[in-house]
Structure 1
C-alpha cells in the first residue's frame, strides 16, 4: 500500500472522475499529492524494486545460478513474479557503476601520480628534433630510439640515472614534436604541396597537438580514462541490440522473434554486471588484509570471474534454444567469437573517440 499523502481535492487528475477512496474507480490512478521529495522518490523506487512481493530476490537467484531459466519463465508468460528485464538491467547497471566509482576512483589511480613513470616505447623519428623537458618529478623511459638523427635531449633531473634512454616528459606540447597548433600550421604552410599532410591526417594531427597544447601527458590520459568510464554504460547499452541481432541471425525466424533474443540479451548483460558488482565488492573486502589465504581466494575469484561468464553463456544458450549439444556448442562458439571481436573493435574505436574528445 502506498504511503503517499492523499489530495484534498477528490477529482482525479488523470480522468476527472470523483475519487472517494485512494484509487480512482475509473482509471485506477492513485489520488495522492503530485509533488514528491527526492527522498520519497528514491525510497519508493527501491522499495518497489526489492520488496518481497516484486520477486526481486527470486529474479536475482535465477539470474545468477540458473542460466536462461529467467528468460524462459518470462517468455512463457510467467512475468508477474519477476522484475521487468529493462528495469532489472538499469538498476543493476546503476549499482555496478556506482560501486566502481566508489571503490575505484580515477583520481586515485597511478595515472594521477606525478611521480609515477610514463613509458613510451619509441621516440618520434624526426631529424634535428630538440626535446627539452622541465618536469623534475615525472621520469619517462624510452625503450627504443632508432632513426633519430640529431636528437638533442636535455636532462634536468639530477636524481635520475645518467642513461641515454631515460628522459623526462610530462609537459605541454608533447605530441608529434609540435608545441602548438599554430606551429603545426606554420610548418604545413612552409612545406611544398606534395609534402603536406592529407586532410584526414592533418585533422587528426591537429586534434592531437591541440590536446597536447592544453594538457600534459598525464592530464590527457587521466581525462581520457574518466571519459571512458563515464560513458561506458551508454556504449554497452547501445551494443546490446547488436548482440541480439547476432542471435537473431543464427536462429529460426519463425520460432524466435527478435524480441525473444532481446530479452535473453538483457538478462545476460544484467548477469555480467551483477557478477562484476559482486566481484568488485569481494575484491575490496579481501584487499583489506595482506594474509596469504586472502590472496589465494582473490586468485580463485579472478578465475571464476574470467571463466564463469563463458560457461554461463554456453549453458544459457543450450537451455533456452533447446538445440542438440553439438549444434548449440557450434552456434555458441560462433556467437561468442563474433561478439568478442565486434565488442573489441567497438571499444577500440570508442577509446579513440574518447581521446580525441578531450579538451
Structure 2
C-alpha cells in the first residue's frame, strides 16, 4: 500500500467530493500529495506492476506449479487476488529480456580478451572460420566481377546475387564468432515480438479444437497469455540459474547440478501444457491427451517455421 502522506485538503482532486478517509468514497482515488519523489515513483511503479505484495507472489506460485489454475480463477471472476493476464505477460516479458540484455555473454567477453592479448592468432583464426560461410566466392569484388563479366550462363539470378553478396559482405566485416554473437543478440532482442505475433495463432488453434458454444476465443486468449507467461518465467529462472552456477569454477558437481536443473526445467516446460489443457477444458484424459498432443505438434511446427523465417530475417539484417 502507498505510504505517501495525505493531503490536508479533504476535497478530492479527481471528482471534488469530500474525502473522509484515505480514499474517495465516490471515485476511489487516493487523496495523497500529487508531488512525488523519485523513490515514490519507483515504488508506485513496482506496486502497480505487482498488484501489491501478496498478489504478485500468489500469481507466480500458481503460474509455476498449478497449470491452468490462474486461467480458471480469472474466468470465474476472481481477479483482484492475482495480476491481470496482460499485465503479467508484459511484466515477465520485460524482466526476462531486460536481464538477458544486461547480463554479458561469457564467451563474448573471453573473445574480446583473447583478441586484445593475441591479435595475430585471431586474424589467422578468422580466415579459417570464414570458410564456414564460403559459398564459392572469395569476396564481394570477385562476385561483382563474375556477375559483370561472366557469360550469361554463369551469372546468378538477381535473388541469388543479392543473397550471396549479403553473405560475402557479412563475412568481410565479421569473424564467425562475431556473426554468431550479433545474430544471437539480435534474435533475443526481437524474440518478444515473435512470441507476441504467435500468441493469437496459438489461441486460434485452441478455438478450432474446442466447443464453440462453451468456449469463446477470449477464454482461449487468457489461457494462452498464462501459458506463454509460464514459458517466459521458467526460461528466465533457467537463464539466471545457469548464469549464477556458471560464475563458479567448473567442477563435476556444478556440472551435474546444472545439467539436472536444466533437464527438470525443460521437461516441466514441455509437460506443463498437457495437465494445463486437461484441467482447464475438463475433457477426459484420453481426449485431452489426443487434442493437446496434436495441438503441441501443430504449434511446434508453426513455431519452427516462424523462428526459421525470423532467423533468416535476422541474418539478412546483420551488418
Q: 2:16 aligns with which of 5, 18, 29?
A: 18
* Distance in 2 separating the partners of 1:194 and 1:218: 36
Residues 50 and 83, structure 2, Cα contact 8 Å, conserved in 1: no
> Are residue 282 (structure 1) and residue 241 (structure 2) matched?
yes
> Are residue 295 (structure 1) and residue 264 (structure 2) matched?
no
TM-score by length of 1: 0.74
> Are residue 314 (structure 1) and residue 274 (structure 2) matched?
yes
**Aligned to 1:168, what secondary structure does the other structure show?**
helix
Residues 106 and 225, structure 1, Cα contact 8 Å, conserved in 2: no
Q: 1:339 aligns with which of 279, 291, 299?
A: 299
TM-aligned CA deviation for residue 357 of structure 1: 0.4
* Distance in 2 separating the partners of 1:204 and 1:38: 50
**Residues 231-246 of structure 1: pairs in structure 2 closer than 5 A:** 231-246=190-205
Partner in structure 1 of residue 60 of structure 2: 60
Cα deviation digits, residues 271-303 of structure 1 (max 9, x gap):
112212222333344442545444332222122
Residues 89 and 266, structure 1, Cα contact 8 Å, conserved in 2: yes
TM-aligned CA deviation for residue 97 of structure 1: 2.4
Q: 2:162 aligns with which of 187, 192, 203?
A: 203
Q: Identify if the C-alpha distance between structure 1 residues 29 and 311 changes in structure 2 by more than 3 Å, giving closer, same or farther.
A: same
Structure 1's unaligned 5+ residue stretches are 116-133, 142-166
* Distance in 2 separating the partners of 1:35 and 1:214: 52
Q: Identify if the C-alpha distance between structure 1 residues 231 and 13 changes in structure 2 by more than 3 Å, giving closer, same or farther.
A: farther
Residues 5 and 32, structure 2, Cα contact 8 Å, conserved in 1: yes
* Distance in 1 separating the partners of 2:281 and 2:317: 42
Q: Identify if the C-alpha distance between structure 1 residues 135 and 175 changes in structure 2 by more than 3 Å, giving closer, same or farther.
A: farther
**Aligned to 1:83, what secondary structure does the other structure show?**
coil
Q: 1:184 aligns with which of 140, 143, 148?
A: 143
- The number of residue pairs the alignment matches comes to 312
Partner in structure 2 of residue 137 of structure 1: 122
Cα deviation digits, residues 144-193 of structure 1 (max 9, x gap):
xxxxxxxxxxxxxxxxxxxxxxx73569x96652433x543332121233
Q: More strand by proportion, 1 or 2?
A: 1
Residues 286 and 298, structure 1, Cα contact 8 Å, conserved in 2: yes
* Distance in 1 separating the partners of 2:39 and 2:134: 48
Partner in structure 1 of residue 73 of structure 2: 73
Partner in structure 2 of residue 212 of structure 1: 171
TM-aligned CA deviation for residue 51 of structure 1: 5.9
Taking only aligned residues, the RMSD between alpha carbons, in angstroms, comes to 3.3
**Aligned to 2:272, what secondary structure does the other structure show?**
helix
TM-score by length of 2: 0.82
Residues 242 and 258, structure 2, Cα contact 8 Å, conserved in 1: yes
Residues 96 and 232, structure 2, Cα contact 8 Å, conserved in 1: yes
TM-aligned CA deviation for residue 208 of structure 1: 2.0
TM-aligned CA deviation for residue 38 of structure 1: 5.2
Q: More helix by proportion, 1 or 2?
A: 2
Cα deviation digits, residues 218-256 of structure 1 (max 9, x gap):
333322221112111222222211211221111111111
